[in-house]
Structures are given as structure tokens and as C-alpha cells.
Structure 1
Amino acid sequence: MRILITGVAGMIGSHLLDLLLKDPNNLIYGVDNLKVGKIDNISNYLGNKNFIYNTFDVTNIYNFIDLYNKLDVIIHLAAEKKGNELMPSFNTLIVNTKGTENMLELAKQNRCKFIFASTSDVYGLSEKLPFNEDDNIVLGPSLIKRWSYAVSKLYCEQLSFAYYKDFNVPIVILRYFGGFSEKASFTWSCGHIPLFIDSVINDTEVNVHGDGKQTRSMCYIKDIVDGTASAIKSEKAIGEIINVGSDEEISVIDSVYIIRDVFYELTGIKREVKIKHIPMHEIFGQYKDILRRRPDLNKAKKLLSYTPQYTFKEGVRITMLERLSHKGSI
């Protein structure tokens, strides 16, 4: 199978590459602009005859002319995230919308399946749990820049459906919930868990936004990758929006203590974690943080035969082991 992965050097993309290259019948084309992705994540495969890599930006369609009539599947992971109210939102809106439009055009030209990576952020301020794919969407005011990421992804979902209905492009939309792994960039753009792990390892302050009572359903990345790979093969998933992640709900503050406990189990070193609570308004301005996030995974089970295999603690253990090994601490 001939597969294009955009954002291939990122956390999700590089783990997906690990999995797909296990099949010698797959030829993987990978692109990344390396703004967030790391070439180290894919360096082991740069000489692999089944992997062709280019440092491309998805906003320039002319980068992809050589892939006309060469693809069976496009997995569009490349995106620009809006982390806080201090960051500009222009690139988030342009990169996500223009990049997705270009990849949908490429899918249309190739007459191939298009898998779009959306986000749990699109559920916005919904208080109905667990989040179901058919729920109404509730977002905050347009004046608050933090919503630009969710809005850009919602637009891309609608655009994907337009290509499906108007041009018969077979699309699958996956709404990812909170992935983490040892290949993350260890910045806020990849979520709080990698940062918490680094802070505990280095015995530095753990920055917690607000009181930390807000909950998240964080998922070890190999489960997200398995769900994505299942979407490649599933015919039942075409034309559907599907949640992919873990339904294990843990508060942000409790995740700090779980990480601390895993560190002790692995090293025998006790840490008194130094938690610094940062007021929400300092990071997000008037943006109202979502208090709880938990996905309804019934559709994923039905259409993708998907069930997460890793608990949060198991994922933390794997991520921390790799991080400690990289630092030469074990």
C-alpha cells in the first residue's frame, strides 16, 4: 500500500511510521516541515527503501506534484497548534485550513482514502459526558484567540465532508484525545504529561494550570496509532467521525502524583514534587478551560475494533523509561 503521512516526524506520525513499516508491502511517503517534529524521530528509517522523506510544508501544493497518481491513502497529521492567548493565531488558522485543503485536493486527484486527524478540542465547552461524535458543538467567543485551533479543525472536518459528498473522496475523521509518548517534543504543544515527566525526573517545578482539578483522558500513543492504522483498513469507517483515545479520566493534579510514583518505582528515588499553580488567566486570558474530557469509544469499538490497551500509568512508565535511558539515568 502506498501511504502519505504528513507530520511524519511528529509524535503520532513517527510512531505510525514505526508500525506501518513493519509491513514490507507498504511504501510510505513522509513529509514534515520540522517546526515541531524532530528528524531524530525518523532518522532510523531515512535509508529504508520503503520510506521516502521530504522536508515539505503542506501549505504549498506544488511540493506534492510528484505524488499525483501514486497514493492509496493520505494520513493528514500535520497541523499548527494554538497553545495560549499570547501566541499568534494566524498560522494556526492558515496552516490547518490551507494544508488540509491541499491534502484533500491531492486525495481527490489520487482517488484515495483521506484520514484526517482532528482533536477533542472541538468538543469545546460541552458539559455532556462522555463526548459523543454526534453531540452538539459548544465553543466560546470568537474574540478569544485560543479557540482558533478548535475552529480550524472543525472547518477542516466540514471541508472533508464536502469532498466526501461532492467529490466522492473516501474520508475518515479521527478525533484524538490527549496522546503522549517518549517521542513528544516535551513542550506545551504536545500536552502536559511529557512536561510533567521531565519536571519530576529533573526535580524542577511542575507547572500546573489552575488548581489542577480539571480532568483529561490521556492516552499512550501506541493506542492512538493502532486506531489510526485500523482506519486505513476499515471500509465501515468511511464518511464517519470517530473518537480515538483512552476513556480513563484522571485529574491533572493526580497525574503529577502518578508520575512521581512511577519515578520512585523505576529509580528508588523519592521526590517531593514542587507544584507551581499558574492562574489560568495568565496563560489563556479570558479563555475558559474545559473542566472535563472523556471520549465515548463505542463507535471506535464498532467501526475500528478499537479498545485501548495501555493504562495511563503503563504509558507513563514506558515514556519515563525511555526518557531516563536517554538521559543516562538508568
Structure 2
Amino acid sequence: MRYLVTGGAGFIGSHLVDALASRGDEVLILDDLSTGSRQNVQHLIDSGGVELIEGSVLDGALVDDCVRSVDRCFHLASAVGVQLVIDHPLDTLLANVNGTQNVMTAAARHDRWLLYTSTSEVYGKQERTPLTEDSDCVLGPPAVSRWSYAIAKAFGEALGHTLHSEGNAPVVMTRLFNVIGPRQTDRYGMVLPTFVRQAITGRDLTVFGNGTQMRCFLHVSDAVHALLLLAEVEGCAGRVFNVGSTEEVAVIALAGRVIDRTGSPSAIRLVPYAEAYGPGFEELGRRRPATGELETATGWQPSRTLDEAIDQVAAYERSLAEQDQNLRLVG
């Protein structure tokens, strides 16, 4: 089988490409390397069977050529990360709306199966717990850049549902909840690599707000396993599935676990949201998924623990930091 993975040089995408290549599938990666890295997939390219095209999903002609040349598509390319979304709201909208439209319409044109990765952010301010796939999406005002990512991803889901219902393409949609693991960058506000990088260099761990906000973190290998199962099981097209852990942890508790597991002397420092992201930023107190739909459809269960993820991210970040002569490691 030959797959297209858009965003395949990124964090989740590169792990998905790893898994596909390991079972003998051919993979074509389309990635503009704006947030991904060739280093994440160079070992696969060198081994053969994996090709990287450095280009954008905004290039409709290129996307069409890529989709036509494969059997199935995973669409992961996206502008992601709270800091990136706030700093570059227009780029976020263009990549996540126009790029997704290009990929989905190409899949429909060439009758290709497609899996689209959406986000738990589409639930917005919804306070229902646990969040089920039919929970209302309660988004903030479009003028607030905080919500541009969620609005764009919700558009992608709507387009996927429409293409599927009209018989144009079999589209599976997933909502990912706080996926973590090696290769995730700390550049765009991702909490675990940020905490780990701060801890191993002896800096204060910066927790935004009061730290009591609850999140569920899923190891990237478990997320990839879910995506692969959804590609194999019949009857998943036209549906949306939550993909996440149901184990909740407060962000301030996560910071403490990172300090403990890295042996760091770092302290925890609370930073007001307004200082971190500007006035008017809205954060959700709790976001826990119900994963029954995914479990029933595929038999999926997560197998990795949060502590495993912390340890692996710490090892990965140390390996990167050791290459930087300007950083002094502790712990």
C-alpha cells in the first residue's frame, strides 16, 4: 500500500510514517518543514520506501499530484500550537482551511480514502465531562485569535462530513487530545517539551494561570496506533472519533512530575495568562475525552503511561541539548 502523509515530517506525522514504513508500506510525505524537520524522517528516507516532497498543502496542483499517486491519505499538515496560533492567526487559517480544502477535494476527485486529524480544541468552552463526539462545540468570538485554530479545524470536519455524505470520498475524522512524546518541539507553546527543556537546563518551569487546569496526555505511539486501526477497520468513514487518554492531570502536577523524574533543581513559577499570551486569552479548566466510540469500533486501548512519555521526552531533549554548546544540563 502507498500512503500520502501530509505533515509527515512533523511530530505525530513522523511517528506515523515510522509505523507505516516498519510494516513495509511505501510513504510519500508532503511537508513544508515550517514546523516539521527533515531530521525526523531522514533515517526513513535513507532506508528507502519513504519520499519527502518539500512543499505546501496550499499548492493545489502539487497536492493533486501527490494524492493521485497514492492509494490512501493521512492529512496531518497543520499550523499547531497555542503560541503559533496567536502569533500567526492568518497563517493558521490559510493552512488549516485552504490546505485542508485542497487535500480533501483532491481525495474526492481521485476517490481516495482520507483520514483527517482534527483537534479537541473544536470543543471550545464546552464544560461537559467527559466530552463525547456529539457534544456541542462552544467556540469563542472569531475576532479572538485564540479561536482561529479551532474554527479552522471545525471547518475541516464539516467539509469531511459533507464530502463523505455526498459520496465523494470516504473520510475518517479524529479529534486528538494533547498528544505527547519525542520529537515534539517546545517552540510553539507545547507544554511537556517546554517543561522538560526548562527542567534539564535548571530554569523555572513556567505554569500559566494557577496550574489547576486539567488535561489528559496521550503518548504519540498510542495515537498512531489509533490512526492505523481506523485505517484498517470497516465502517469508520463518515464518523469522528476522539483520540486521547482519559487519565487527568493538573498542569501544575505535570510540572512537578517532570521535576521529579528529571532530578531537576528547578522551581515552578506561575505566570498570568495575560503576561504569556496577551489580554483576553481564554483557557479551559478541564478537557477529558470519552473514547468509547474509538474503543468499540477498533478495540483500541492506550498502553503507554505519562511517566514513560516524560522519560522519553527527557531523553530526547537531553540528546538535542547536548548538541548545543550554549546550554548547560542539570539533573
Q: TM-score range by the shorter chain?
A: over 0.9
5+ long unaligned stretches in structure 1: 265-270
Partner of 1:72: 71
**Counterpart for residue 152 of structure 1:** 152
| Contact residue 212 and residue 250 of structure 2 kept, 8 A | yes
Instruction: Tell me what 1:45 maps to.
Output: 44
1:143 is displaced (CA, Å) by 2.4
Partner residue, 2:274 = 281
1:293 to 279, 287, 303: 287
User: Shift of the alpha carbon at 1:88?
Assistant: 3.2
Alpha-carbon offset, residue 177 of structure 1: 0.5
- Looking at structure 2, the residues matched to 82 and 22 of structure 1 have their Cα atoms a distance apart, in angstroms, of 28
CA positional deviation for 1:67: 3.2
Residue aligning to 1:267: none
Is 2:311 aligned against 1:312? no
Contact 2:140 2:147 in 1 (8 A): yes
Which runs of no fewer than 5 residues in structure 2 stay unpaired? Answer: 323-328
How far off is 1:40 after superposition?
0.7
Taking the aligned partners of 1:164 and 1:13, their CA distance within structure 2 comes to: 23
The structural deviation recorded for 1:326 is 4.2
State whether residues 109 and 168 of structure 2, in contact with CA within 8 Å, keep that contact through their aligned partners in structure 1: no
Q: Distance in 1 between matches of 2:208 and 2:152?
A: 24
Q: Is residue 15–residue 221 contact of structure 1 (8 Å, CA) maintained in 2?
A: yes
184 and 86 in structure 1: CA distance in 2 versus 1, 3 angstrom threshold: closer
Bigger CA drift: 207-216 or 315-324? 315-324
Cα 1:254–1:82 shift into 2, 3 Å:
closer
Q: Distance in 1 between matches of 2:319 and 2:78?
A: 30
Deviations 1:248-304 (A, max 9, x none): 11000000111111113xxxxxx3322222111221521321000111011110112
Aligned ranges 1:1-330 → 2 under 5 Å: 1-24=1-24, 26-67=25-66, 69-81=68-80, 83-84=82-83, 87-189=87-189, 191-264=190-263, 271-282=264-275, 283-328=277-322
Deviation at 1:86, TM superposition (A): 5.0
Between the aligned partners of 1:185 and 1:124, the Cα distance in structure 2 is 24
Are the structure 2 counterparts of residues 58 and 69 from structure 1 closer, same or farther at C-alpha, using a change threshold of 3 Å?
A: closer
**Identity level (%):** 28
1:63-110, CA deviations, whole angstroms, 9 ceiling, x for partnerless residues? 134335432211000011362485131111111111111101221122
**What letter matches 1:192 in structure 2?**
V
Say if 1:34 and 1:119 are closer, same or farther in 2 by CA, change over 3 A: same
Distance 1:162 1:284, change over 3 A: farther
Q: State the Cα distance separating 1:162 from its structure 2 match.
A: 1.1
Give, in angstroms, the shift of residue 240 of structure 1: 0.7
- The separation in 1 between residues aligned to 2:137 and 2:63, in whole angstroms, is 34
TM-score, with length taken from structure 2: 0.93
**For 2:161, what is the secondary structure of its paired residue?**
helix
CA RMSD of aligned residues (A): 1.7
Deviation per CA, 1:18-60, whole angstroms, max 9, x where unpaired?
Answer: 1110122x11110110110011101112233311210010011
Distance 1:68 1:281 in 2: 43
Letter in 2 for 1:238: A
